[in-house]
Amino acid sequence: MKKNKKQIKLLAIINEILNGREGNALSLLEDKSNMYARKVALGMKTSLGWRELTFDGLGLLSRRLASYLINDIGVKRDEKIAILSESKPEYGACVFASVMAGMTTVPLDIKLTIYELNSILSDCLPSVILVSNNYIDKALELQKAVPSIKHVLVMDEIPLTNELKSIYTTPNNYKCKWRHRSRKSTMFIIYTSGTTGAPKGVETTFGNILAQLADLKVVLRKIFPKRGDVRILSILPMNHLFEMTVGLATFLNFGFSVYYTKSLKPKDILNTIQDKKINFMILVPAFLRLLKNVMEAEIKNSSIFYQKTFPIKYFLEKFITFRWFKKLMFRKLHNLFGGSFKACLSGGAPFDVETAIFFKRIGIDVYEGYGLTETSPVATINVDKHRDLHSVGKILPSYEAKIDPNTGELLLKGPSIMKGYHNQPELTAQAVDKEGFFHTGDIARIDKKGRVYITGRIKNMIVLSGGKKVFPEEVEAVLSKSDKFSEVCVFGISREGGAKDGTEDIAAVVVPTEDMKAKYQGKDLEKEVREEVKKLSNSLAPYKRPLNITILNQALPKTSTNKIKRREVKELIKA
């Protein structure tokens, strides 16, 4: 896709940013620490109250830890440092200390088993592991299993064991010669798999991250035209690059204050939003639906008058464009979110358009982003004023995009494309072709205005006996509209033998809501679910309608960002 004059101009701005001090990671850290010194950078509520690090405090803690790593432990340039912790203010300090010490950071998923973590750490061989009190036992067990781990440091002020040193009790030394590295050097290794076979570690360079910061600085000005005192709530795990790039690096680069929560319980999240007057959130679609459920519960628990008038106001909102008026009309719901909440950025999975419309109607914008870990990770954000909510937005300025004419796959090329998969050159060559285009695995189309529409994943594609191809995401989007279903997962079941050997039938796994399970049991529940699937499927072409329907009374297996594990659901049904 050729770039227009506007894109060329934006690209020139990005190159100017990258060629300045913001094109150097260490200079960028120093500048932000000085620029926003007394302002809160990272915060979190604990059992003892609010724990907050100012930009100055974050800089001091980072320098103190970096000095200890270099002077006392004696780490070498390019050594690996792993982090095993929930999201918390100290996490950012540990990442920045790693940068200053010239190390490569490996954020770990706290939900992985010892076996899975052992597989990952045996692949990247870190010399240091930083751990929160909650996972000390895991870290010590891993140290015994992985010989490369020489040091274990606790990220909390008071370690739960006297055997380990805390990052707060390291020598009171802040001076050391920071280790500059080139843009081609690896900043992170993000593992996207580790359960079977060789773990897949995506190497993300300093150049990748700096290009992302430059792109996002230009694009996000549409969301944040006036920087000011913006307070962000981030609920995604920090081992995910979306959280690391946007939730941490980008928003700190803007001088915003980023807050975390101790748990993902709606009550704890709402308390944080209310206490800190949160303006903006980063989340995944599943949590967006949860917030909608909280608001709908608030409506149901309101007076009869409010319940009767809400649908009228909701309908009239279609003709109102002023945010302040929407906020006035739906004041009760805005007060539930502290009165200052304006918008959120959703990523990690396709979101429900109807849910986004609901938030837009009541005066809260939802911006959808798209990308993969291999693209560092953001490739598009839908920030246009009159945006199509079915689109994931336009490609970021520094990217070049095209659609494979044979497969319909979206291909991306640019400075944010990963360096490669750690220790797996053959896998890297499969993902990034000789022209430098990364094969996303996503089926997409790009319209005349440059808007990208993701329609499915190649690996999820279901091939029917007549040669028809069906993307399960499309079927799931239709079935998920039901207020009788809690979760839905669609996939293909292969036929074996006969004339249709090797082809697939469409199967749907449905988890009914608690209300449905309370109202119906046994065959009655099965009948209701099947009738609901049949009714909703009428909007699909006949060949796209599920033939096999399975009802589950348990939550579907998910990743740490609430993506349904399609393969595990399939295995569960087979079993």
DSSP state of 75: P
**Nearest to residue 370, comparing CAs of 379, 383, 357?**
379
Q: State the pLDDT at residue 6.
A: 60
| Alpha helix positions (H), 101-202 | 114-124, 136-145
Of 14-23, 378-387, 489-498, the range with the lowest mean pLDDT is 14-23
Rounded CA gap, 404 and 410, in Å?
Answer: 7
Instruction: State what percent of residues in the chain have pLDDT above 70.
Output: 92
SS3 of residue 197 by DSSP: coil
Max mean pLDDT among 5-19, 146-160, 283-297, 348-362 falls in 146-160
How many CB atoms sit inside 10 A of residue 238's CB?
A: 25
**Nearest to residue 573, comparing CAs of 483, 491, 480?**
491
How many CB atoms sit inside 10 A of residue 439's CB?
A: 17
Rounded CA gap, 505 and 543, in Å?
Answer: 9
Rounded CA gap, 273 and 264, in Å?
Answer: 12
Q: State the pLDDT at residue 477.
A: 87
Give pLDDT tens digits for 411-434.
Answer: 999 999 999 999 999 999 999 999
User: In CATH, which superfamily holds the domain spanning 461-574?
Assistant: ANL, C-terminal domain (3.30.300.30)
Q: State the pLDDT at residue 33.
A: 81
pTM, 2 dp: 0.84
> Does residue 495 carry a pLDDT above 80?
no
Residue range 137-166: average pLDDT?
A: 95
Each domain of the chain, given as residue ranges in start order, spans 36-181, 461-574
| Alpha helix positions (H), 53-193 | 55-67, 89-100, 114-124, 136-145
Comparing 17 with 112, the larger pLDDT belongs to: 112
The topology under which CATH files domain 36-181 is: Rossmann fold (3.40.50)
Instruction: Retrieve residue 4's tokens.
Output: 């227009």
Rounded CA gap, 111 and 503, in Å?
Answer: 35
Question: Considering the chain, what is the average pLDDT of its residues?
Answer: 89
In the chain, the amino acid numbered 299 is: I
461-574 and 36-181 share a CATH fold: no
Max mean pLDDT among 138-152, 279-293, 527-541 falls in 138-152
Any idea which residue has 């993969």 for tokens? 372
Q: State the pLDDT at residue 289.
A: 84
